[in-house]
């Protein structure tokens, strides 16, 4: 719902005397003030604004027994942990400091809102750095942003500080996120100018009471672009001095500044390799500038210069030999998979391959490759699947590419709020299951009445839990990847071939369809990417008969008549998976329809319309991919699969004409079919 509509509703409510509250999605999972609340809250005497926020939140919405907040030394709890226990006088929330009390308050309120009994417990976060990465540009656009423009109003800062910054900080703190990188990794050096740092400082001031540190993406060539130096060579003393002076300047303005995120020598960004230096030399030089202030460098390993014929191997080839060469305030930030946030990827083999180096995972919360804001794709199952392979304890920190924009409901698709929520909860506790997280999020956000039939809420839960697998099935099942339309990555283009374009930006590079079969041979008889994994897993992946089927086309070029576990041939199985993906969306539509009487009409209609788009697009994917691959398999589409109604040429003719900064609208999609 747009802002104008919200305003009209609010005004109508005032004029008609009806309830002023109308759903617009802006509250996220957080409840507003609760007038019936009779809570008795005792808080420590403190001037801390953080304690004041905790008290305000509890006074607003706590429905439990009288509660006492205490600051008490407890070495188990660290800086951010909390304990909930009972003593003779009643229920107590205690922590070492104000921040622990804030996190504990949000945890208690979560229990309340989800209708759970208060669990007596001790909680500490799994990671000290739990950070969202905004890919927001200084002109207000967001790379891969699907919910409007950036929430940072750079033009009006530092004079005007939008109230939304506080709402945003509150939402993050409520799920345990404690850091925000404000700007795109494709970074403009301007963010480091005095003019912009003054603006950044204002945002940091708003975030501070919520325990959130500000970080910035830094352009490696800033000493040249901003400082007028002739070089950005990390071994040149004047370059190191420039970064040191810049760090000193930043910390004067923002004493708790978190540090830098750097995309170097990747997709055209400058980096140390431009000066024949290594990633470690570049990262360490910047880290040394931050070190005296306690800052860190998150150095991305998202690189794929063609050092090998297989892009999936390139980051490992470039980074693994640098193990042990990074300073202790550098963390190497690695995307969960070896290619690029596909609907399903095996984990990146770099994880665990650099035992002397701190590593962090980068998840993508924004749905660049999962239907933008038009499709429901609850991503906790993808992230917990990653943790099934990579032990959370082997990581030092965690990052998620934000899906937040200035739409009233923050995330475009109302259900995409669940991904922001899930990222925060998993960053705090990666042992949580997707189901536990959705059990928390759903009642708090969808706000259905308590007497909603269980089969309805079970249906909604299933809709969310199955949604990512549905996307995998209708977009690229069985380990297929990167079949996306060029540039914007919305619809299917397995045929895409742009003259002069990098081969590894073209889908045929990844699917390798030919008359013999389908899939990228990364086994020992092919690119041997399997060898980058630990020996036991490598052996399993290497054998077409033991490779998990969800990855079979990632690691093998599989003959069309290969017998799959179901007994079907590869071709039949492929057709079945595409069909099943489409049918799953139809099931999701039925689950949503069953919930209609219990959901706010505004919310229900919004999601319903998006589901219609999703259903149509799922079919678009199914038809496009099956018709295209059929040219190679030469086999008929089985009877159990709905016959395509379009021709391949018709589907090839669809060009959305959208940029990398927007979501195709339903109107645009309608006009193309």
Which sequence positions are flagged as catalytic?
267, 340, 368
Beta bridge partners of 558: 518
Q: With respect to ligand GCV, which residue has the nearer C-beta, 123 or 136? A: 136
What is d(CA 377, CA 375) in angstroms, rounded to the nearest whole number?
6
Taking CB under 6 A as the rule, does residue 263 contact ligand GCV? yes
Task: Report CA torsion sign: 577, 582, 583, 585.
Answer: positive
CB of 241 to ligand GCV, least distance (A): 29
Q: Binding ligand GCV by CB under 6 A: which of 23, 82, 103, 135?
A: 135
CB of 365 to ligand GCV, least distance (A): 13
Q: With respect to ligand GCV, which residue has the nearer C-beta, 263 or 291? A: 263
Q: With respect to ligand GCV, which residue has the nearer C-beta, 215 or 604? A: 215
Range in contact with ligand GCV (rule: CB under 6 A) among 79-87, 183-191, 545-553, 634-642: 183-191
Taking CB under 6 A as the rule, does residue 302 contact ligand GCV? yes
507 Rama class: left (phi>0) / alpha (psi -120 to 50) / beta: alpha
Taking CB under 6 A as the rule, does residue 185 contact ligand GCV? yes
Residues 6+ apart with CB under 8 A from 233: 239, 272, 275, 277
CB of 135 to ligand GCV, least distance (A): 5
Range in contact with ligand GCV (rule: CB under 6 A) among 104-112, 179-187, 224-232, 492-500: 179-187
Q: With respect to ligand GCV, which residue has the nearer C-beta, 28 or 181? A: 181
Range in contact with ligand GCV (rule: CB under 6 A) among 182-190, 273-281, 453-461, 628-636: 182-190
What is d(CA 481, CA 506) in angstroms, rounded to the nearest whole number?
11
Q: Binding ligand GCV by CB under 6 A: which of 26, 186, 320, 650?
A: 186
Pairing of the two strands 330-335 and 296-300:
parallel
CB of 492 to ligand GCV, least distance (A): 17
Taking CB under 6 A as the rule, does residue 493 contact ligand GCV? no
Task: Kindly tell me the burial class for residue 74, based on how many C-beta atoms sit within 10 Å of its own C-beta (0-12, 13-18, 19 or more).
Answer: middle
CB of 436 to ligand GCV, least distance (A): 29
Q: Binding ligand GCV by CB under 6 A: which of 144, 246, 291, 481?
A: 144
Q: With respect to ligand GCV, which residue has the nearer C-beta, 263 or 461? A: 263
What is d(CA 231, CA 225) in angstroms, rounded to the nearest whole number?
10
CB of 19 to ligand GCV, least distance (A): 42
Q: With respect to ligand GCV, which residue has the nearer C-beta, 187 or 286? A: 187
CB of 191 to ligand GCV, least distance (A): 15
Taking CB under 6 A as the rule, does residue 123 contact ligand GCV? no
Q: With respect to ligand GCV, which residue has the nearer C-beta, 29 or 299? A: 299
CB of 384 to ligand GCV, least distance (A): 22
Range in contact with ligand GCV (rule: CB under 6 A) among 40-48, 81-89, 184-192, 205-213: 184-192
Q: Which residues of 385-406 are buried (b: 16+ CB within 10 A; e: fewer)?
A: bbbeebebeebbbbbbbbbbbb
Residues 6+ apart with CB under 8 A from 596: 604
CB of 190 to ligand GCV, least distance (A): 17
Q: What H or E segment, with its residue span, contains residue 206?
A: helix 194-207
CB of 335 to ligand GCV, least distance (A): 7
| End-to-end alpha carbon distance in the chain | 25
Residues 6+ apart with CB under 8 A from 183: 134, 136, 137, 138, 191, 216, 217
What is d(CA 567, CA 517) in angstroms, rounded to the nearest whole number?
17
Best CA proximity match to 428, nearest among 118, 166, 167, 80: 80
Six token digits for residue 114: 């989800």
Q: With respect to ligand GCV, which residue has the nearer C-beta, 29 or 341? A: 341
Taking CB under 6 A as the rule, does residue 103 contact ligand GCV? no
Taking CB under 6 A as the rule, does residue 340 contact ligand GCV? yes
Q: With respect to ligand GCV, which residue has the nearer C-beta, 136 or 440? A: 136
DSSP string, 248-260: HHHHHH-TT--EE
Please report where in the chains the tokens 């004047």 appear, as a residue.
238
Taking CB under 6 A as the rule, does residue 375 contact ligand GCV? no
Side-chain half-sphere CA neighbours of 98 within 13 A: 16
Side-chain half-sphere CA neighbours of 312 within 13 A: 27
Six token digits for residue 513: 């369809």
Residues 632-671 that bind ligand GCV (CB under 6 A): 660
Q: With respect to ligand GCV, which residue has the nearer C-beta, 298 or 464? A: 298
Taking CB under 6 A as the rule, does residue 550 contact ligand GCV? no
Range in contact with ligand GCV (rule: CB under 6 A) among 65-73, 157-165, 181-189, 491-499: 181-189
Taking CB under 6 A as the rule, does residue 448 contact ligand GCV? no
Taking CB under 6 A as the rule, does residue 143 contact ligand GCV? yes
Taking CB under 6 A as the rule, does residue 141 contact ligand GCV? no
Taking CB under 6 A as the rule, does residue 504 contact ligand GCV? no
Residue 158 and residue 201 in contact, taking contact as beta carbons nearer than 8 Å:
yes
Residue 401 and residue 133 in contact, taking contact as beta carbons nearer than 8 Å:
yes
Number of residues that bind ligand GCV (CB under 6 A): 11
Residue 272 and residue 303 in contact, taking contact as beta carbons nearer than 8 Å:
no
Side-chain half-sphere CA neighbours of 108 within 13 A: 34
Q: With respect to ligand GCV, which residue has the nearer C-beta, 96 or 184? A: 184
Helix crossing, 98-113 with 163-175: angle to 10°? 80
Taking CB under 6 A as the rule, does residue 187 contact ligand GCV? no
CB of 656 to ligand GCV, least distance (A): 16
Please report where in the chains the tokens 């920190």 appear, as a residue.
397
Taking CB under 6 A as the rule, does residue 481 contact ligand GCV? no
Contact residues for ligand GCV, defined by CB under 6 A: 135, 143-144, 184-186, 263, 267, 302, 340, 660
């Amino acid at each position: 719902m747009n802002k104008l509509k919200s305003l009209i509703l609010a005004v109508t409510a005032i004029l008609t005397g009806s309830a002023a509250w109308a759903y617009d999605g802006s509250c996220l999972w957080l409840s507003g003030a609760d007038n019936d609340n009779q809570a008795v809250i005792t808080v420590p005497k403190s001037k801390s604004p953080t304690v004041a926020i905790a008290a305000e939140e509890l006074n607003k919405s706590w429905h439990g027994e009288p509660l006492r907040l205490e600051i008490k030394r407890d070495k188990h709890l660290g800086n951010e942990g909390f304990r909930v226990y009972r003593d003779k006088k009643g229920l107590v929330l205690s922590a070492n400091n104000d921040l622990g009390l804030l996190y504990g308050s949000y945890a208690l309120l979560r229990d309340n809102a989800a209708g759970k009994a208060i669990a007596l417990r001790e909680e500490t976060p799994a990671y000290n750095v739990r950070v969202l990465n905004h890919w927001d540009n200084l002109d207000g656009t967001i790379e891969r942003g699907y919910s409007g423009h950036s929430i940072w109003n750079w033009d009006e800062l530092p004079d005007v500080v939008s109230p939304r910054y506080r709402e945003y900080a509150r939402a993050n703190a409520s799920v345990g996120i404690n850091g925000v990188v404000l700007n795109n990794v494709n970074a403009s050096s301007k963010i480091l100018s005095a003019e912009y740092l003054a603006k950044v400082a204002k945002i940091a001031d708003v975030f501070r009471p919520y325990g959130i540190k500000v970080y910035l993406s830094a352009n490696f060539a800033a000493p040249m672009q901003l400082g007028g130096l002739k070089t950005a060579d990390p071994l040149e003393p004047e370059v190191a001095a420039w970064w040191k002076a810049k760090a000193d300047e930043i910390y004067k303005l923002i004493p708790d500044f978190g540090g830098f995120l750097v995309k170097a020598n990747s997709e055209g960004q400058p980096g140390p390799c431009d000066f024949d230096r290594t990633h470690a030399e570049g990262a360490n030089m910047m880290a040394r500038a931050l070190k005296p202030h306690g800052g860190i460098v998150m150095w991305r390993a998202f690189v794929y210069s063609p050092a090998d014929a297989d892009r999936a191997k390139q980051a490992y080839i470039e980074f693994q030999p640098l193990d042990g060469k990074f300073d202790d305030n550098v963390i190497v930030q690695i995307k969960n998979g070896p290619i690029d946030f596909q609907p399903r990827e095996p984990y990146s083999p770099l994880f665990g391959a650099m035992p002397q180096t701190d590593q962090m995972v980068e998840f993508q919360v924004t749905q660049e490759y999962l239907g933008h804001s038009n499709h429901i794709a609850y991503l906790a199952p993808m992230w917990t699947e990653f943790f099934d392979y990579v032990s959370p304890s082997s990581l030092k920190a965690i990052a998620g590419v934000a899906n937040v924009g200035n739409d009233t409901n923050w995330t475009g698709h109302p259900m995409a709020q669940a991904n922001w929520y899930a990222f925060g909860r998993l960053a705090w506790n990666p042992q949580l299951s997707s189901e536990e997280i959705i059990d928390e999020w759903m009642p708090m956000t969808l706000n259905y009445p308590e007497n909603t039939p269980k089969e309805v809420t079970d249906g909604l839960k299933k809709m969310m839990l199955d949604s990512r697998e549905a996307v995998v099935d209708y977009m690229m099942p069985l380990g297929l990847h990167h079949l996306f339309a060029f540039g914007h990555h919305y619809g299917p283009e397995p045929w895409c071939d742009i003259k002069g374009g990098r081969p590894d930006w073209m889908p045929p590079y990844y699917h390798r369809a030919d008359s013999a079969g389908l899939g990228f041979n990364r086994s020992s008889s092919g690119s041997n990417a399997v060898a980058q994994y630990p020996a036991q897993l490598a052996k399993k992946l290497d054998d077409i008969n033991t490779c998990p089927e969800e990855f079979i086309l990632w690691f093998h070029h599989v003959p069309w008549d290969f017998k799959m576990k179901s007994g079907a041939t590869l071709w039949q199985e492929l057709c079945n998976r595409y069909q099943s993906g489409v049918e799953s969306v139809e099931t999701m539509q039925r689950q949503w329809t069953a919930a209609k009487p219990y959901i706010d009409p505004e919310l229900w209609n919004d999601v319903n319309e998006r589901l219609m788009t999703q259903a149509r697009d799922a079919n678009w994917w199914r038809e496009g991919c099956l018709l295209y691959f059929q040219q190679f398999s030469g086999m008929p589409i089985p009877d159990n699969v709905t016959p395509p109604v379009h021709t391949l040429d018709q589907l090839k003719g669809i060009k959305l004409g959208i940029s990398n900064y927007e979501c195709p609208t339903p109107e645009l999609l309608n006009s193309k079919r």
